[in-house]
Amino acid sequence: MIVTELAKTGVFIPEIGLGTWEYHAGPLPLRKGLDAGALFIDTAESYGSESVVGKAVRGLRDRVFLATKVSPQNFRPADLSRSVEASLKRLGTDFVDLLQLHEPNSAIPIDETMGAVVKLITAGKVKFVGVSNFSVTQLYAAQKALGRFPIVSNQVRYNIIDRTIETELLPYCRVNHVTVIAYCPLARGLSRIRDCDPTGAIDELSRETGKSPAQIVINWCVCQAGVVAIPKGNSVEHILDNCGASDWRLSQEQLALLNERVQHRRRNRFDQLVRQWVPGPLQSLAIQTLNAMPPGIRRRFR
Ligand SMILES: NC(=O)c1ccc[n+]([C@@H]2O[C@H](COP(=O)([O-])OP(=O)(O)OC[C@H]3O[C@@H](n4cnc5c(N)ncnc54)[C@H](OP(=O)(O)O)[C@@H]3O)[C@@H](O)[C@H]2O)c1
């Protein structure tokens, strides 16, 4: 597994970590992923997966880079501290390597939140601080509020068909040494990616390289400077397949072919706002409805 430096921390993390949103396969598949070198797990207090992650890392804790998230409704100092204590308990550990603010919350001053985060760092309960779904402006404000400690990562949606962050956020993160943790690197399922690949470029490269389609698209992600990826698999087969997306590189020609033939979009601001404000359950319903439509129509909404 190729490792990459987290921001400018001197700490190296695997370029492929294990996502755990809607994970329900028990500790074993995660453990197999850890054994395969993906010694980096991403969870969140809202995922309901912290306990299973705790079981998966038992006996290996000192080798695993453990990342969790605090939910935006818990950004007031007392709530945040209670929240993190509860996460630590579920994870069966004394500290997390990375605590991420799950989403911005404009109703709570970021200075207050970061004040509480600093106390957790000082107490040794949090090693590094990251954010998730933060825009450039929000990231800048968060860093200002955190003061002398760096924000080491921003976890955002990034994959071969959704390249929204390339316009502004990714360049900003690169210049400011903030690692981008790409979530949904498989676009939540390969079928969505295939919808955007009408000429079959991914399958073509899969045959040429002997790598699976999932490995091709995850490798595309980690080929982008400053980016690590956290695919989620619910089986040993999927998790090991995803781990095999590291230790090799698509060539420049192969990357160019994917960039040319796989259709991608960069969401405009309106689109991003809808995603930010439409409640999660409704988003799922919208996605399911979209998935039931013919590929030609689906592509237009991606
Ligand atoms: N910060 C945030 O707001 C945020 C938001 C979304 C996600 N995340 C994080 O990012 C992680 C990944 O995102 P995600 O779970 O939404 O989507 P994803 O990793 O892009 O895709 C997961 C889907 O791909 C399938 N899959 C996995 N490996 C595969 C393989 N090798 N071949 C074919 N299909 C495969 C999975 O099926 P099975 O489940 O059947 O294996 C699942 O349906 C999450 O688990 C979470 O940790 C963070």
Question: Contact 55/49 with Cβ under 8 angstroms?
Answer: no
- Name the closest-CA residue to atom 36, ligand 1: 233
CB of residue 191 inside a 6 A radius of ligand 1: no
Which residues pair with residue 182 across a beta bridge? 156, 229
Given this model, what pLDDT does residue 244 score?
A: 98
What domains can be seen in the chain, in order of their start residue?
3-266 (3.20.20.100)
Residue-level pLDDT at 99: 98
pLDDT at position 164, please? 94
Query: For atom 48 of ligand 1, which residue has the closest CA?
Result: 183
- In DSSP notation, 267-279 reads --HHHHHHHHHS-
Contact predicate 154/131, CB 8 Å: yes
Position 289 scores a pLDDT of 74
Our answer on whether the CB atom of 194 is closer than 6 Å to any ligand 1 atom is no
CB-ligand 1 contact for 42 (6 Å cutoff): yes
Angstrom distance (rounded) from CA 69 to CA 99: 6
For residue 58, how many other CB atoms are within 10 A of its CB? Answer: 12
The pLDDT value given to residue 178: 98
Which residues of the chain register pLDDT less than 50?
Answer: 302
140 lines ligand 1 (CB under 6 A): no
Per the annotation, the verdict on 47 as an active-site residue is: yes
**In angstroms, rounded to a whole number, what is the distance separating the alpha carbons of residues 89 and 92?**
5
Please answer whether residues 10 and 36 qualify as being in contact, where contact means their C-beta atoms are separated by less than 8 angstroms.
Answer: no
What does pTM read for this prediction?
Answer: 0.91
The two tokens of residue 159 are: 């994959």
pLDDT value at residue 196: 94
What is the pLDDT, as a whole number, of residue 285?
Answer: 73
pLDDT, one tens digit per residue, over 134-173 is 999 999 999 999 999 999 999 999 999 999 999 999 999 9
